[in-house]
């Protein structure tokens, strides 16, 4: 039992306030929030000196291997508000064959497919739903490409909160089904994720749904931040040289960047940062275009299409936060084609026995491309994010059959 520690006790938390990601304006903690008064994402701030005095690496090492081990840097104040489905730490796997084939740089993959509901969306939504429970929120709504909706449905149902979820009409069947089975009212909409987002915003105005859209709710970032905390702890409190992150709304990239700053402030790491690489699909690459043009905000990408549904986000409200992290880190943004994604997925599955999701495979394809064009060197240790289990996606059929009533040529099998 991983999650039994202090289940009935209250514990101190170090949240002091929330801050507008654009203007820095303070907003009060302990009341529900969506966007800041300036209409931008809110970031949760902590008394990091207080955390520094309380938390040690030794204390942390004794805690259960799950996301709640970082409680001092998380927003949930009361243990009884935690709505858990078992958010275990995810393994960091190496791809030794790929790295020797490509010429030597160490490749590590953080395999987020092991989380509840099969994707790293669980990290964000476990936090958002636990906070919603603390605030007494009764009805949450969300636009989704699939994985976020599944995680919201699961945690909200567990907490007894109603959910209404909208996805683009071509969302994979498995995602729509899991969302429905896990207790949500789910609708396919003839549009893209931002079109679904408009319906949620309208429902919020008309009937008071809580809008759980990416970055329109401040606690999903805090959950996603634990990827950065975990990664650094797993590397013995070191950062890797480069992180390749499949970027849709950018919650994880923004969250990890925040995590590294907080870890430095509490004295757990120094000032070295990984270079953050935002990976997108060439059929939907608004961040790459904005990065290349040197601008702070990204314009909507029209006619978005890619097999990597999780990163099919034509417009992200946290665009400036993504671009800022990428630039401050000395990283870059890069797009890969669906063909390269499919080829990478196939290559890693066949040779390493590791079935990545298309978004995860996009990071591998982007790494290959960056090595080839010299943007990443062979001496650098890289971390790729496999953000969901490959089993959630449509897989190619195998048509080979065997007739057991005929003679079998065993040597040919
Ligand atoms: C949501 C999602 C992403 C993008 O994550 P963000 O942090 O929102 O940018 C990537 N891959 C998968 C599988 C996802 O579900």
Residue by residue, DSSP assigns 207-237 as: H--EE--TTSSTHHHHHHHHHHHHHHHHTTS
Strands 185-189, 210-211: pairing kind:
unpaired
Residue nearest to atom 6 of ligand 1 (CA): 250
**Gyration radius (Cα) of the chain, Å:** 21
Yes or no: say if 186 and 176 are a contact pair by the CB < 8 Å rule. yes
Q: Which residue ranges have their beta carbon within 6 Å of ligand 1?
A: 119, 121, 147-148, 214, 246-252, 310-311, 357, 359, 387-388
Beta bridge partners of 276: 243
399, two tokens: 């048509």
For residue 29, how far is its CA from the centre of ligand 1 (angstroms)?
Answer: 27
Per-10-residue mean pLDDT of the chain, 413 residues long, equals 43 88 97 97 97 96 96 95 97 97 92 98 98 98 96 98 96 94 98 94 97 96 98 98 97 98 98 98 98 97 93 95 98 98 98 98 98 95 97 91 96 95
Nearest to 322 by CA among 342, 353, 341, 296: 296
Nearest CA to ligand 1 atom 5: 248
DSSP 3-state assignment of 249? coil
Indicate whether this model's pTM tops 0.75. Answer: yes
Burial zone of 412 (CB within 10 Å; 0-12 exposed, 13-18 middle, 19+ buried): exposed
What is the distance, to the nearest Å, from the Cα of residue 301 to the centroid of all Cα atoms in its chain?
21
pLDDT at 377: 95
Compute, in angstroms, the gap from residue 199 CA to the centroid of ligand 1: 21
Residue ranges of domains in the chain? 92-117+220-392
Architecture of domain 92-117+220-392: 3-Layer(aba) Sandwich (3.40)
179-199 b/e (C-beta count within 10 Å ≥ 16 → b): bbebbbebeebebbbbebbeb
């Amino acid at each position: 039992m991983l999650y039994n520690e202090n289940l009935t006790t209250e514990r101190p938390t170090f949240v002091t306030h929330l801050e507008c990601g654009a203007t820095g304006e303070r907003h009060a903690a302990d009341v529900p929030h969506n966007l800041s008064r300036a209409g931008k994402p809110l970031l949760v701030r902590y008394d990091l000196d207080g955390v520094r005095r309380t938390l040690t690496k030794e204390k942390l090492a004794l805690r259960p291997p799950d996301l709640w081990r970082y409680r001092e840097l998380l927003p949930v104040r009361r243990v009884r508000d935690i709505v858990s489905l078992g958010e275990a730490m995810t393994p960091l796997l190496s791809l030794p064959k790929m790295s020797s084939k490509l010429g030597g740089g160490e490749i590590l993959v953080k395999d987020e497919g092991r989380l509840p509901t099969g994707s790293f969306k669980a990290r964000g939504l476990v936090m958002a739903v636990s906070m919603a429970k603390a605030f007494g929120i009764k009805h949450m709504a969300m636009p989704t490409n699939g994985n976020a909706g599944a995680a919201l449905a699961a945690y909200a149902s567990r907490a007894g909160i109603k959910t209404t979820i909208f996805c683009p009409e071509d969302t994979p069947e498995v995602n729509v089904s899991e969302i429905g089975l896990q207790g949500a009212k789910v609708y396919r909409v003839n549009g893209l994720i931002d079109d679904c987002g408009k319906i949620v915003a309208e429902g919020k105005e008309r009937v008071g749904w809580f809008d759980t859209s990416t970055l329109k709710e401040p606690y999903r970032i805090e959950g996603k931040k634990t990827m950065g905390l975990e990664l650094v702890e797993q590397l013995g409190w070191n950062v890797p040289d480069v992180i390749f992150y499949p970027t849709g709304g950018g919650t994880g990239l923004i969250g990890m960047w925040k995590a590294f700053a907080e870890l430095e402030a509490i004295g757990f790491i120094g000032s070295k940062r990984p270079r953050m690489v935002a990976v997108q699909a060439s059929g939907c690459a608004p961040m790459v275009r904005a990065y290349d043009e040197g601008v702070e905000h990204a314009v909507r990408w029209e006619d978005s299409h890619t097999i990597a549904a999780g990163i099919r986000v034509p417009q992200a409200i946290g665009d400036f936060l993504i671009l800022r992290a990428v630039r401050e880190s000395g990283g870059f943004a890069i797009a890969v084609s669906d063909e390269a994604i499919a080829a990478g997925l196939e290559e890693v599955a066949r040779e390493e026995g590791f079935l990545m999701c298309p978004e995860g495979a996009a990071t591998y394809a982007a790494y290959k491309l960056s090595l080839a064009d010299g943007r990443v060197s062979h001496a650098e240790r890289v971390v790729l994010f496999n953000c969901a289990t490959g089993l959630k996606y449509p897989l190619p059929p195998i048509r080979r059959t065997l007739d057991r009533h005929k003679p079998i040529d065993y040597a040919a099998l």
